[in-house]
A and B are shown apart, each in its own frame.
Chain A
Amino acid sequence: MEQVAESAIDDIVRGAVHFGSGGGGEPHLGRQLLTAAVRQYGPVPLVQAGSLAPDALVLPVVSAGAPYALLEKAHGVHEAEALRAAVEARAGRECAAVLPVQLGSANVAVPLAVAARLGLPCLDADLMRRTLPSIDMTLLRLSGHPVPPITLVGCTGALVEFSSGDGAVLGELLRAVMPGLGLVALASAYEVTAGACARLGVDGSISDCARIGAALGAVSPGSEAGYAPFLRACGGRMLCTATVAELVQHSTDGWPRGVVSLNTPEGFARIDFQNENLIVSRSGTVLATVPDLISLADAETGSLLQTTDLALGQEVHVIAGPVDDRWHTPEGLDMVGPRAFGYAVDPVRFDGTGDLTAAGPR
């Protein structure tokens, strides 16, 4: 894929929802935001990391904030320029391209819209290969790259920088300033070059979203068999069809913990979720866990859902899909496995197999 034109937006944003694993925001806003940018500035060129000069600085971009808050107060046009100026001033040189930090409906649309506005190409890549709730949960950090400096720009001109510190602490600090910024900010982190991205091997993210989104658009809802195009495209599998019986969330010191109870023909199933779906189990057997993707599709429309928006009685398909293998290494699971989210459960892959690397004492 060489550029993102208006005709490609629907597929890209729809496909990005798959990588949200039940979170990452509802796709309507992202679609509108990207459409506005492409109509104003034209198609966004996509580039591979290897095609840029290895020492070229890239601009990682992520929309930091609560999806509900973003629905009320979307980003302002000045945030993109302010973020770029802050990052370039600190690095002492210009950015050559925008780099999406994660894949999700808002966080694919926002970096592409920022690239359009700044007149930069966007890397066909991202640093997480899915949605994860914290800016430090990236394959780049997994490879040993430091998270800071982190830069946040609020809509009314506030600029926040964390120039050094441990990744997890910075994640906490970042969330601590969000209320003051009105729960919405445009953010960047990682001082990173095109060469580092090329070595990391994260090309093809936006193209993947487009491909999977097109397959989702080709689903014929009404039967599990109708999802074959999508399952082929994402490499996932249909776990079950169910109706939503209950949805509860409990507030905690950190992210709220939620549980969706599902009625399936084979008995009760449950999904534990925080920001994304994390664990799906049935009658006490864990069927799949984070870091693999767990999505819910509306049985009637075939579209993928945000877990917090589920309605009682709604009929859904539960679909699990694979993620980048690096998340399944011991180090990857330490960062984003079920235990990292506070669940005393061994990781289970989308196809029901365990992670051999996780079998030892932990």
Chain B
Amino acid sequence: MTTPARTRLRVGVDGVRARAVAVDSGGRLVAVHRGRRGDPPARVLDALFRRGPGMAPTDRVVAVLPDLTLAESAQRARVGVLRVGAPAATAVPPLAGWTAERAALAGPVAMVRGGHEYDGRVSAPLDVPAVAEFARTCAGKVDAIALTGVNALENPEHEQLAAAVIADELGPDVPVMRGAETEALGLLERENTAVLDAALVSAARVRIDELSAAVRVHAPDAALYLVRGDGTVLPSLDAYRHATAWRGAALGGLLHGAARLAGVPSAIVVEATAGRAVVGTTLGGLLPDSGLQREIDGIRTGLRAPRLTVIHRRDAGFTGKVLAAIARARGGRDELPVVVVGERAEEVPDPSGIAAIRPGDGDLAAAVGAAVAEAAGSVDRIFWQGTGGGQDSVTRARMLALDAALRAGADPRKLRETPVREALMTYVPVPAARLQVTAVGPLLESADVAAVEP
């Protein structure tokens, strides 16, 4: 039997700005470490634990890690790329628009018969022998596989089957990244994401293992999460496989954390540093849809990018541009407070008619954002509405988003949802629509687990 602890700590690590904080269940800061920019995240975490002797049990560590890029070639994995869907989509082969230099990171590239239609029916039967043949040509030549199926969000069957065939041939040591693991409309978008995730899998493992070792030393029972680009959490086991998903975490975490430090649920956030100012928005724990897709090293991915305006201090009219960016970010939402953080926060004047909030520990914003980060799940795909009508598909989309949020660790009793965004099919009037919805909520409290006597 264990006795329930009175409070549990959540540790947030900002691996970019070298800050770490411990926050109690009531949201109070109980320990802070300010390292030097460039300190490895594991060292920053280590220093926090050493600073707070006798800290209450820590049940989670949530970290902002620096972006991984393909340029880190030392750890770049060789990737085999398989697309399931031929004869459809063959006019745009995998990596078609990549530069030759980047395409060189890929091992064998193939398109095999298979895939589905928009409504989930089989478009062409899966060519299993061709999948196995592709896997054999990859043996010994690749470190990871990226596998993407046409309409695999609507029906993942061929993607899953092909993944199993590849695993049979190559064994468990070659990770297979499936396109449908990324919830995004667009075959190329999901495929590119899977290729980048596969190429970065070794580098991600090194980064996460370093951090994970530090967590085990000080808080062996704590769960480890990374911060996603949208500021919500990514369980570390998923983070190994999705290095692109934590791209941009330094700003995603900062936006939520700055609002939290200011004590407001939603805000326009400005981070002012020696070199630049960045302006973004957080609304009720989510970064508002921007209509922008995240490009990584010039490659379009399936990740949604928040709208962030970066103004460089060397630009003429710096202050005016920052104020204009704030006005644009408000977009008519005049009630939104403005929160300014960063080492040069005092240099950003109040926008006209608004007293900006400048929280005292503004440099800790991203670390606090990590410590209190929530779990979210999103859906963005085409739903066939032929049977059951639009309402059925809206319900299905909401359920899928809730499920995804639960898988990310959200407490099912505390979920919030965005309205379902519906875009109807243009040019071909059929009952199908693109539905987008996100569910978000605080992480489920870990329960004390009693040992069962055999």
- Name A's B-contacting residues (CB within 8 A): 23, 28-29, 31-33, 35-37, 39, 64-69, 71-80, 113, 117, 133, 155-157, 175, 178-179, 182-184, 222, 243, 245, 249, 251-256, 258, 263, 274-275, 298-301, 305, 308-315
A-B interface pairs (CB < 8 A), number: 182
Contacts of B189 in A (CB 8 A): 71
Selected from A29, A36, A300, the residue in CB contact (under 8 A) with B309 is A300
Interface contact B426-A315, CB-CB below 8 Å: no
Once A73-B88, A313-B332 are accepted as A-B contacts, the answer to whether A179 and B430 lie under 8 Å apart by CB is: yes
Chain A, Cβ-Cβ closest to B431: A251
Q: Which of B88, B289, B423 contacts A308 (CB 8 A)?
A: B423
Out of A75, A133, A314, which one reaches B331, CB within 8 Å? Answer: A314
In the complex, the answer to whether A68 meets B96 with C-beta atoms within 8 Å is no
User: Which A residues lie within 8 Å of B426 (CB)?
Assistant: 23, 66-68, 133, 255-256, 274-275, 308
Can you report 14 residue pairs joining A to B where beta carbons are below 8 Å apart?
A: A23-B427, A31-B97, A36-B96, A64-B427, A66-B426, A71-B186, A73-B123, A73-B151, A113-B91, A133-B427, A156-B88, A183-B430, A243-B332, A251-B431
Q: Is B288 touching A75 in the complex (CB atoms < 8 A)?
A: no
CA–CA, A185 and B434, complex, Å: 20
A252 to B425, CA, bound (A): 11
Whether A156 contacts B429 by the Cβ 8 Å rule is: no
Taking a contact as CB atoms under 8 Å apart, the answer to whether B118 and A183 are in contact is: yes
Given A72-B118, A179-B430, list of 11 further CB < 8 A pairs?
Answer: A66-B425, A68-B382, A71-B187, A75-B88, A76-B86, A76-B89, A117-B91, A255-B429, A263-B332, A308-B423, A308-B424
Query: Does B124 sit within 8 A of A, measured CB to CB?
Result: yes
Name the distance in Å between B443's Cβ and chain A's nearest Cβ.
27
**A residues near B430, Cβ cutoff 8 Å:** 66, 178-179, 183
Establish whether residues B150 and A73, one from each chain, have CB atoms under 8 Å apart when the complex forms. Answer: yes
Residues in chain A near residue B115, CB distance under 8 A: 73
Once bound together, how far apart are the Cα atoms of A113 and B97, in whole Å? 14
Contact-residue size bin, chain B (C-beta under 8 Å from the other chain) = 35 or more
Q: Is the CB of B118 within 8 A of A313?
A: no
| B93 proximity list for chain A (CB < 8 A) | 36
Do B87 and A73 touch (CB < 8 A)?
no
Interface string of B349-368 (1 = CB under 8 A from A): 00000000000000000000
* Distance in angstroms between the alpha carbons of A72 and B426 in the assembled complex: 15
Choice from A72, A79, A80, A263 contacting B150 with Cβ under 8 Å = A72
Q: Does B185 contact A (CB under 8 A)?
A: yes
User: Is there contact, CB below 8 Å, between B96 and A156?
Assistant: no
A249 near B332: Cβ-Cβ < 8 Å? no
A78 vs B86: C-alpha distance when bound (angstroms): 10
A305 & B291 in contact (Cβ 8 Å cutoff):
yes
When the two chains form their complex, are residues B90 and A77 in contact, meaning their CB atoms are under 8 A apart? Answer: yes
CB neighbours (8 Å) of B188 from chain A are: 28-29, 32, 71, 74
Check if A29 sits within 8 Å of B331, measured CB to CB.
Answer: no
Bound Cα distance A314, B328 (Å): 8
The answer to whether A73 touches B429, judged by C-beta atoms less than 8 angstroms apart, is no
Alpha-carbon distance A349/B46, docked complex (angstroms): 67
Shortest B182–chain A CB gap in Å is 14
| Min C-beta distance of B69 to chain A, whole Å | 21
Contacting B185 at CB < 8 Å: which of A72, A75, A300? A72
Complex interface: chain A residues within 8 A of B119 (CB):
179
Interchain nearest-CB distance for B292 vs A (Å): 8
A69 & B96 in contact (Cβ 8 Å cutoff)? no
Cα–Cα, bound, A143→B418 (Å): 50
- Which of the residues B89, B96, B307, B390 comes within 8 Å of A75, measured between beta carbons? B89
Q: CB-nearest residue of chain B relative to A299?
A: B328
Residue in B closest to A174 when the chains form the complex, CB atoms = B428
Our pick among A74, A77, A175, A308 for the contact of B187 (Cβ within 8 Å) is A74
Binary per-residue interface labels of chain B (146-163) against chain A in the complex, 1 for a CB within 8 Å, 0 otherwise: 000011000000000000
In the bound complex, residues from chain B placing their C-beta under 8 Å from that of A275 are: 426-427
Take A67-B427, A69-B382, A74-B187 as given contacts and tell me if A313 and B331 are in contact as well, using a CB distance cutoff of 8 Å: yes
Instruction: State how many angstroms separate the Cβ of B412 from the closest Cβ of chain A.
Output: 28
- Using Cβ atoms and an 8 Å threshold, which residues of chain B touch A255? 426-427, 429
Task: Assess A77 versus B87: contact at CB under 8 Å? Given A65-B427, A183-B428.
Answer: yes
- The CA-CA distance from A310 to B93 in the complex, in Å, is 29
Q: Which residues of B contact A314 (CB under 8 A)?
A: 290-291, 307, 331
Query: Closest approach, in angstroms, between the C-beta of A33 and any C-beta of chain B?
Result: 5
Pairwise interchain contact B92-A74, C-beta atoms closer than 8 A: yes
Known A-B contacts A68-B382, A300-B307, A315-B331; the reply to A175 vs B92 at CB < 8 A is no
Q: Tell me which residues across on chain A come within 8 A of B67, comparing CB atoms.
A: none
Q: Are B328 and A73 in contact (CB under 8 A)?
A: no
**A301 vs B189: C-alpha distance in the bound complex, in angstroms?**
20
| Residue-wise interface mask of B (66-105) relative to A, using a CB-CB cutoff of 8 A (1 in contact, 0 not) | 0000000000000000000111111111001100000000
Partner of B118, one of A67, A69, A76, A305: A69
Whether B417 sits at the interface, judged by CB under 8 Å, is no
CB proximity of A216 to chain B, nearest CB, Å: 17
**Closest approach, in angstroms, between the C-beta of A241 and any C-beta of chain B?**
10
Q: Is B117 an interface residue when CB atoms closer than 8 A count as contact? A: yes
Report B108-150 CB contacts with A as 1/0, cut-off 8 Å.
0000000101110001100000000000000000000000001
Give the contacting residue for B92; candidates A36, A66, A313; CB below 8 A.
Answer: A36
Q: Which of A69, A299, A313, A315 makes the CB contact (< 8 A) with B425?
A: A69
Residues of A within 8 Å of B328, CB to CB, are 299-300, 315
Q: How far is the CA of A301 from the CA of B290 in the complex (A)?
A: 12
How close is B140's CB to chain A, nearest CB, in angstroms? 29
B332 close to A245 (CB less than 8 A): yes
Residue of chain A at shortest CB distance from B190:
A72
Chain A nearest CB, measured from B26 CB (Å): 33
Closest residue of B by beta carbon distance from A316: B291
Q: Which residues of A contact B117 (CB under 8 A)?
A: 73, 182-183
- Tell me which residues across on chain B come within 8 A of A77, comparing CB atoms: 87, 90-91
Chain A residue contacts of B321, Cβ below 8 A: 222
Q: Verify if B333 is at the interface (C-beta below 8 Å from A).
A: yes
Q: Which residues of A contact B186 (CB under 8 A)?
A: 29, 71-72
| A78 in contact with B185 (CB, 8 Å) | no
Judge whether B428 and A65 touch: CB under 8 Å.
yes
Interface centre among B88, B92, B428, B429 (most CB of A within 10 A): B428
Q: Which residue of A lies closest to B289 (CB)?
A: A311
Query: A32 to B307, alpha carbons, bound, how many Å?
Result: 24
Answer whether residue B300 sits at the interface, using C-beta atoms and an 8 A cutoff: yes
